[in-house]
Amino acid sequence: MEFTRQLDDVERRYEELTAQLGDESVVNDPEKYRKAAKAQRDLEEIVEAYREYKRLADAFEQAQGMRTESDPDLRQMAEDEITELQPKIDAQVEQLRFLLLPKDPNDDKDVLLEIRAGAGGDEASLFAAEMFRVYSRYAEGQRWKVELTSMSESGAGGVKEVIALISGNKVYSRLKYESGVHRVQRVPVTEQQGRIHTSTITVAVLPEADDVEIKIDPKDVRIDTFCSSGPGGQSVNTTYSAVRMTHLPTGLVVSCQDEKSQIKNRAKAERVLRSRLYELELEKQMQAIGADRRSQVGTGDRSEKIRTYNFKENRVTDHRIGLTLHQLDRIMEGEVGELLDACTSHFNARKLKEQAQDQAVA
């Protein structure tokens, strides 16, 4: 069976890597050890799932053998065990099929998170600030690091735009389906007649590119420095610590003024610029692949309305996957794990279906 042969190969490779991690020549070479440890970690989940599948399959086979027992109680016990084991085996097979899907090469990357107020004026800027807090709270629970790069505040206490770098374990794999238009429906604090207003914000989650993937030629970048400023134009410091980078070939402009050090701001700005250039490369890939396979590349379409947050009904609806949860109050406190899990399961199922269709055609 091709399915189990593939899993046997994965398990064999996992055992080879485990042995390597105990090899003195590997242990004494930090780079070799790091690569072997990462490769082993990448296979660990699928190997554990496969071993659980084999355990269930062995128990199922033993129960099948008990069906021929002369003792009716033993036969009934076997039937009960078979009835209990079959759905567990089916679920384990489904999980293994998901785990065998081609891995998104960006899943292990850190991300650049961009949130911008859209339609709705002050209300949109307030919601943008709240959603940044949601993602920050979730990141805190995941033990991720959030580094603010730039923030443009509004007069109402919200934000017109906020950009942050989030680093940690598999950040992109968790947040990649958050890109798009988020719509909020609620009564603004400034509304005197209790009417519900609809506002929007846009969220973009970009995988952070490293130096190897995106090379930035210094002659292609113009760097300007200026004094950081806060709301209302008030000077935050009198040194030229803020940095603006302009990538001349593409016209991309990146600013960073969160740090007091010009060197730190420049380093952050370069990370943001590299991620934006990487996004442009991904868009070229999607266009080359064609519309029917763009979902497999990984980045979301930020022009698509993906979710509605209705405060009056304590409801959040993800329009792409048809999911509605009546727990908006918890979600706004950063408890977005159930939403993220549902999106991941939905898009993995779609990829699995497309893979099956491709195999049928082949």
Distance of CA 204 to the CA centre of its chain: 11
Q: In the prediction, which pLDDT does 317 show?
A: 96
Quick one: average pLDDT of 38-57? 92
The string of pLDDT tens digits covering residues 157-169 is 889 999 999 999 8
Q: What are residue 223's phi and psi, to 5 degrees?
A: -115, 125
3-state secondary structure the chain: CHHHHHHHHHHHHHHHHHHHCCCHHHHCCHHHHHHHHHHHHHHHHHHHHHHHHHHHHHHHHHHHHHHHCCCHHHHHHHHHHHHHHHHHHHHHHHHHHHHCCCCCCCCCCCEEEEEEECCCHHHHHHHHHHHHHHHHHHHHHCCCEEEEEEEEECCCCCEEEEEEEEECCCHHHHHHHHCEEEEEEECCCCCCCCCCEEEEEEEEEEECCCCCCCCCCHHHEEEEEECCECHHHCECCCCCCEEEEEECCCCEEEEECCCCCHHHHHHHHHHHHHHHHHHHHHHHHHHHHCHHHHHHCCCCCCCCEEEEEECCCCEEEECCCCEEECCHHHHCCCCCHHHHHHHHHHHHHHHHHHHHHHHHHC
Q: In the prediction, which pLDDT does 14 show?
A: 93
pLDDT grade for 6, boundaries at 50, 70 and 90: confident
How far apart are the C-alpha atoms of 114 and 125, rounded to whole Å? 13
Instruction: Label residue 206 exposed, middle or buried (CB < 10 Å: 0-12, 13-18, 19+).
Output: buried
Say what percent of the chain tops pLDDT 90.
43
Residue 295 pLDDT > 50, yes or no?
Answer: no
Say what percent of the chain tops pLDDT 70.
86
CATH number of 2-99, picked from 2.40.50, 1.20.58, 2.60.40, 3.40.390: 1.20.58
| Bridge partners, 203 (sequence order) | 115, 180
In this predicted structure, which of 89-103, 154-168, 240-254, 346-360 has the lowest mean pLDDT?
346-360
For all residues of the chain together, what is the average pLDDT? 84
Q: In the prediction, which pLDDT does 299 show?
A: 39
User: Taking the CB of residue 145, how many other CB atoms lie within 10 A of it?
Assistant: 14
Q: In the prediction, which pLDDT does 219 show?
A: 86
Nearest to 277 by CA among 208, 225, 218: 208
Q: In the prediction, which pLDDT does 106 show?
A: 85
How far apart are the C-alpha atoms of 154 and 117, rounded to whole Å? 10
Quick one: average pLDDT of 220-247? 69
Q: Are 320 and 343 in contact (CB under 8 A)?
A: yes
Q: In the prediction, which pLDDT does 244 show?
A: 86
pLDDT grade for 141, boundaries at 50, 70 and 90: very high
CATH number of 111-212+274-350, picked from 3.40.190.10, 3.30.70.3270, 3.30.70.360, 3.30.70.1660: 3.30.70.1660
Residue 214 pLDDT > 80, yes or no?
Answer: no
Quick one: average pLDDT of 311-325? 94
Q: In the prediction, which pLDDT does 190 show?
A: 65
* Domain chopping of the chain, boundaries: 2-99, 111-212+274-350
Q: In the prediction, which pLDDT does 235 show?
A: 43
Q: Are 253 and 271 in contact (CB under 8 A)?
A: no
Question: Can you read off the two tokens belonging to residue 262?
Answer: 């010009």
pLDDT grade for 345, boundaries at 50, 70 and 90: confident
Q: Residue with structure tokens 């085996």? A: 89
Quick one: average pLDDT of 64-81? 88
Q: Give the long-range contacts of residues 15-18, CB within 8 A, separation 24 or more.
A: 17/43
More confident residue, 132 or 269: 132
More confident residue, 188 or 55: 55
Residue 78 pLDDT > 70, yes or no?
Answer: yes
Q: In the prediction, which pLDDT does 217 show?
A: 83
Q: In the prediction, which pLDDT does 239 show?
A: 61
